[in-house]
Every structure is written in structure tokens, then in C-alpha cells.
Amino acid sequence: MQFKKFPIEGPVLIEPKVFGDERGFFLETFKTSIFEKENIPAHFTQDNHSRSSRGVLRGMHLQIPPYEQGKLVRVVRGKVIDVVVDVRVGSPNYGKWLSVELSEENKNIFWVPPGFAHGFLTLEDKTDFLYKVTQEYNPQNEVGIRWDDPALGIPWKTWLSDDSEFIVSQRDQETPFLVNFKSPFVY
């Protein structure tokens, strides 16, 4: 596995080694010893699986303490643009975002640490998105920021190559802009 770090400290893109032959392929998606060497938590408490149509935009979500979550995410069918926003107060990258493409083809895995709002846009129908989390889901501690916050400038429209409308939940339409978000995360 290759672990790619970013100028925004925390998130990590994991490129697994894929062994393929006439039978298909094999890859390791998680190995405690390797992840611990890379300072990525190896204790996960819940696995989740979502399926989405093309144009579904989920985000930007996070859980606050004491149920903050790190997420290990990947796509097993289809393709997404996965986006994280640094919401750690005092971070030199507060309010900055980064994106990665996760797909059935590239088989990449993305580590999203606590203190980052997370979301994704599906680029293909029947996209299956898997994620392991370090804390169980706790609805009372789930919060979010607006996916279309102009202060963030995330170019969602450029990733959906036509004039399709996004499919966004009512809840995600009602989250606050970053300027009104009171982050409990400290850098």
C-alpha cells in the first residue's frame, strides 16, 4: 500500500497494491499493522454501505465529541468525488478543502480524520460507497456544514459533466455555512 499525504495535514489517500490475473483480482483494503505504522487508527466500530444514483451529493457531515468519527472510505462500484473540509479551529488550513476521486477502477481508499467535514458526489449510477468509522453513529452528535457554501468554493458543478441537478437531502440543505458553524475541534 502507498500512503499519500496532502498539504492539509490529516487526510490520507491509500493506494492499495492490486494483484490481478485471469481469475480477477485481490487486494488488501485494511491491515492493522500497516495502518498503525502510518498513524491511522486501526480500531473501527461500525461499517456502512450506501448506494447512490448519479448526481447524489451527500455532505458535508461530521460527528462532534465525544462521538467524533474518523472514516475510512472507498468505492466498490461506480465513482465519486470525495471532499473534506478542515474545520479544526486554529488550523492553518481551516476552511480549506481537498478532493479525491474514488472509483471501482482505481480502488483507492481515503482516510478522513476527526475534525474534517466529509461529503461526496456520485458520478455514476448505482455507486456503492463503503466506510468504516471509529465511533458508532450518534444522531445527537451529527452536524454538518453547507455543501454549497460560497466561502468554501467547492466546484461541485465542474465534476458533474452536464447540467444535471444535484440530488441533496433536505437535511443537507439546512446545515449552516462555515461562518456560522461552531467547531469543537481544535488543531
Phi, psi of 5 (to 5 degrees): -95, 165
Which residue among 67, 94, 131, 137 is the active-site one? 131
- 131 annotated active-site: yes
Strand segments, DSSP code E, in the chain are 2-5, 12-15, 18-21, 24-27, 46-52, 57-63, 71-77, 79-86, 97-103, 109-112, 116-122, 127-133, 142-144
| Class of residue 74 by CB neighbours under 10 A (exposed 0-12, middle 13-18, buried 19+) | buried
Which residue among 61, 67, 137, 187 is the active-site one? 61
> What residues act catalytically?
61, 131
